[in-house]
Amino acid sequence: MRPALADALARGPAALATIVSLGDGGPRPVGTQMVFGHDALGGGSRAGFLSGGCIEADVEDHARACVTDGRPRRLVYGEGSPWPDIRLLCGARIEILVERIASDDPAARELLALAGARIPARWISDGDRRLCAPASEDLPAWPGAFSRRFDPPPRLVVFGGDPTALAVASLGAQSGFHTTLVRPKGPTSTPPLPSVAYRRDDVAAAVAAIGLDAWTAVAICGHDEDVDHQALLAALPSAAPYVGLLGARRRLGERLARLRAAGVGERDLQKLRAPIGLDLGGKAPFEVAVAVIGEIMAARHGQPALSRRASSAPDGGGQAAKPPGGGKS
């Protein structure tokens, strides 16, 4: 929601709707948000969703009114709702805080600045008063306020240039990852992949420019052994929680031996997932892409049972690590 909020605030005040309480399930978790923009002509935009379509139109009506009068709203749908005609097919009880955000709101500006710097943030609001600071400061919420953490936007770095690498990059971008395709000495023309950045410099320069932090996944899908090796040397000791390598299982022992000889430690080798992706059985580029993005998401959300890891362990097995902040963004 942060890009949508930035866009809305560039055009005027906005309304932010947040699920602050949830009972008996529901399609979206606590902390889910919608942004409603407003412009001088009386129109507006909307981004996100809070349910399966049961309540969004009603929330929008309250959000538009909130932008106009400035008063926050606490909306309840489902059990205890004052609007029994709005039915939730999932049977959930959803409580939503709707608040007006001014264009110059200090908390919102801090939230966007921290996102740009890729620093985790803590957002606290009761609808009238808001605070935002780096999550490391661990600000306590006051009575009646809702607190949520914002991790940096997830990123994906894909090394390679064949159809499989292109498919992984394309699906990664469609799945919400800020995606960069790296193809050292590749074509000067940018691949026709919407929302995918492209670099053709060497591995070291690309990694230094991008930066591999705890919210960045690395998928090495090339067919150049030296480029793959350099990418592994850069990615495995980094903070990136996911490093996957495309290639035949029978060659894995040689690659691990070469990495050890280059000084990569066993702890870093345990991060490697090779062959890359969940074992879905498909070999076509987009089948591999689904397997790769699925595995990245499983690791990101702490689902080790869905992910398999080949590493320096004798059986090639291991357990998935959960990234900082529970892997949620």
Show the tokens assigned to 290: 């689904």
- 164 pLDDT band, cuts 50/70/90, is very high
The single-letter code of the amino acid at 192 is P
At residue 323, does pLDDT exceed 80? Answer: no
Mean pLDDT of all residues in the chain? 88
Domain locations along the chain? 2-150, 155-322
- 52 pLDDT band, cuts 50/70/90, is confident
As a whole-number percent, the residues of the chain with pLDDT over 90 amount to 73
At residue 250, does pLDDT exceed 80? Answer: yes
If DSSP states are collapsed to H, E and C, what string results for 162-221?
Answer: CHHHHHHHHHHHHCCCEEEEECCCCCCCCCCCCCEEEECCCHHHHHHHHCCCCCEEEEEC
Mean pLDDT for 269-298 is 94
At residue 317, does pLDDT exceed 50? Answer: no
At residue 154, does pLDDT exceed 90? Answer: yes
Evaluate whether 258 touches 229 at the Cβ level (below 8 Å).
yes
- 91 pLDDT band, cuts 50/70/90, is low
At residue 314, does pLDDT exceed 80? Answer: no
Q: Which CATH number fits domain 155-322: 3.40.50.2300, 3.40.50.1110, 3.40.50.720, 3.40.1710.10?
A: 3.40.50.720
At residue 315, does pLDDT exceed 70? Answer: no
At residue 316, does pLDDT exceed 70? Answer: no
If DSSP states are collapsed to H, E and C, what string results for 300-324?
Answer: HCCCHHHCCCCCCCCCCCCCCCCCH
Mean pLDDT for 15-20 is 96
Show the tokens assigned to 183: 């193809």
**pTM for this predicted structure:** 0.85
pLDDT at 65: 94
At residue 326, does pLDDT exceed 60? Answer: no
